[in-house]
């Protein structure tokens, strides 16, 4: 009887020791989600609730989705963020990954518009456009998600002539483009490459005839003409 109990006790110890020595990651009865396929975060921007069937990723067979901002979706139905799986986020027909960074948190969802040059340039349809200072564009994209300016909803930027008529020049103004000038003191000329040049009026009425003055040499020539025309009259009227 004693031998039998001793054998049973030793057997239990051996079995317990073998189980304890087995690493947790090799135990078949413990399931751990693969972080490369499943979202396991419960932080802001994630939908992880094993009591809600909408949080289940049927493809990866695990719980957890990521909230993508409506502006970063190709065809948003409203302004609310949408919880998507990894597979859906990788689908470019669902999300706009060309223009938005889906790894950056934007409030309570992911999707910040991609910018360059310190935020003065932004991506629209995969192309970079200038970020214009507020109040310049006639058709700003209200869903652009930019704090320092506007971008055109169709990606078509105003040209130099359109801006000059409003007294603006397409030059950088802080973190946006578009600097305004007082049209009673300045005029903005546009060259063939749509580049602006500033003309200082100095009180002279503007008749638009000085469009050919685009560099210092042209200005010098004009001043020489003015001198040649006025100097004979000066000699005629102000000499004794």
pTM for this entry:
0.66
pLDDT at 14: 45
Taking phi over 0 as left and psi of -120 to 50 as alpha, with beta for the rest, 45 belongs to: left
The larger pLDDT score, comparing residue 198 to residue 226, is at: 198
Tell whether the model's pLDDT for residue 213 goes beyond 70. no
> pLDDT for 99-118, tens place per residue?
999 999 999 999 999 999 99
pLDDT at 101: 96
> pLDDT for 126-156, tens place per residue?
999 999 999 899 889 888 888 899 998 888 8
Provide the mean pLDDT of the chain: 80
pLDDT at 225: 76
Please state, for a pLDDT cut of 70, what percent of the chain lies above it. 75
Mean pLDDT computed over 184-206: 78
Tell whether the model's pLDDT for residue 41 goes beyond 70. yes
Q: Which sign does the torsion angle of CA 95, 100, 104, 107 carry? A: negative
pLDDT at 56: 93
Write the burial class of residue 131 (CB in 10 Å: 0-12 exposed, 13-18 middle, 19+ buried). Answer: buried
The residue to which tokens 């200005």 are assigned:
219
């Amino acid at each position: 009887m004693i031998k039998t109990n001793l054998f049973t006790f030793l057997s239990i110890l051996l079995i317990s020791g073998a189980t304890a020595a087995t690493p947790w990651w090799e135990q078949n009865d413990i399931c751990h989600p693969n972080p490369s396929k499943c979202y396991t975060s419960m932080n802001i921007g994630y939908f992880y609730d094993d009591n809600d069937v909408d949080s289940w990723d049927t493809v990866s067979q695990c719980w957890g989705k990521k909230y993508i901002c409506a502006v970063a979706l190709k065809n948003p139905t409203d302004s609310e963020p949408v919880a998507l799986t990894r597979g859906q986020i990788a689908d470019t027909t669902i999300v706009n990954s060309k223009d938005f960074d889906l790894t950056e948190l934007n409030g309570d969802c992911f999707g910040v518009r991609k910018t360059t040059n310190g935020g003065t340039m932004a991506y629209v349809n995969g192309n970079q456009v200038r970020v214009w200072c507020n109040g310049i564009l006639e058709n700003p994209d209200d869903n652009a998600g930019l704090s320092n300016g506007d971008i055109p909803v169709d990606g078509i930027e105003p040209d130099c002539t359109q801006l000059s008529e409003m007294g603006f020049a397409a030059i950088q103004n802080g973190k946006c483009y578009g600097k305004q000038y007082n049209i009673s003191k300045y005029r903005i000329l546009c060259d063939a490459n749509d580049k602006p040049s500033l003309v200082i009026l100095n009180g002279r009425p503007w008749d638009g005839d000085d469009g050919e003055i685009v560099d210092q040499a042209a200005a010098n020539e004009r001043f020489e003409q003015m001198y040649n025309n006025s100097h004979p009259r000066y000699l005629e009227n102000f000499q004794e």
